[in-house]
Structure 1
Amino acid sequence: MSNVTTVPAAPSIEALKHFEDEFMFETDCSDVHAAHQAGPYDFVLIDARSHDLFNAGHVPGATSLPHGKIIASKLEAYPQDTVFVTYCAGPHCNGAARAAIRLAKLGRPVKIMAGGVTGWLDEGYELERVAQAA
C-alpha cells in the first residue's frame, strides 16, 4: 500500500462538495486573464506583495496593496459587496492567503488567484511593469 492510498479517498458525494466548494474560495490565472481580456474586471485584483515587487512586474489591472496594509480605510472607496481577488508570488508564498484573511475579517467577499505570479507566467501571460523615473 502506498502513501497515496493509506488514507482512503473520500466518498464521491463528499469529494464533489469539497471540489465544488473550492470555486467559492479561489479562481485561476486563466479565468482572471479571460476577465481582463473581456473588459473591465467585475472584481478588484489585489497584488498582496510589496510595492517594489509590484513595480517590477504585476498582473495587468492589479492594485498594489500589500497584505499587511489591508485595513478598512483602504477599502472605503469600494462598495461592501465588491469581490476581491488576491494573489502573491506563487504557490511558495502565503501572501495571497494572508490578504484574503484580512479582507474576510473586514467582511469583504474574497477569492485567491491560484498560482499567483508564477502561475500567470506559466500560462504564458505577460506582466505589466511600473516605469521607474530616470
Structure 2
Amino acid sequence: MTSVVSRVTAAPSSQALAHFRTLLQFETDCWDVHFAISNNRQDFVLVDVRSELLFGQSHIEQAINIPHKKLTEDNLKAYPTDTLFVVYCAGPHCNGTEKGAIKLAELGRPVKKMIGGITGWIDEGLPLVAANPP
C-alpha cells in the first residue's frame, strides 16, 4: 500500500542535491539571521517589508522598514548595489516577502527571503522590539 507521501516518486539524489543547494541561494532562516546578528557577522541589510504601522508595533531590532510598495532605487540609494538584502514579513501566511524580493531583484539587487518571517522569529523564541511603545 502506497502513502500519499511516496505516491509521487522522490527525485533522483542528484536532482534533489541541485534543488536544495539552489534553494539556499534564495532563502535563509530566522536562526541563521539571528546567529549572524548575535555574532557580529551581519553582512546583509535586514528589511521588514510590512507597513509602517506593523513595524511600529513590533519588529526585529536590527531591521529597517521599507514596505514592499516603497522598495525603489531612490529609497535604496544609500546602499551599494552589491548589498545583500534579507526581507521578511509577517510569516508563511503572508506574501509580502515575495513581493519585496521581486522588487529588489527587478532593481538588480541581491536578495534572500527569511523564511518564517515574524512568526518564525517568535517560534524560535527570539525577541522583538516595539518602535512605538504605548
Q: Could you list the runs of 5+ residues in structure 2 that have no partner in the other structure?
A: none
Distance 1:36 1:52 in 2: 24
Q: Which amino acid aligns with 1:101?
A: I
SS in 1 for 2:6: helix
Alignment: residue pair count? 133
Aligned match of 1:14? 15
Aligned match of 1:95? 96
Instruction: Write the mapping of 1:14-93 to structure 2, written as runs, cut at 5 A.
Output: 14-39=15-40, 41-93=42-94
RMSD: 1.2
**Would the alpha carbon gap of residues 5 and 76 (structure 1) be closer, same or farther in structure 2, given more than 3 Å must change?**
same
2:121 is equivalent to residue 120 of structure 1: yes
SS in 1 for 2:87: strand
Q: Which amino acid aligns with 1:87?
A: Y
- In percent, how many aligned pairs have the same letter? 53
Residue 105 of structure 1, CA deviation: 0.3
Q: What TM-score, normalized to structure 2? A: 0.95
Distance 1:32 1:57 in 2: 17
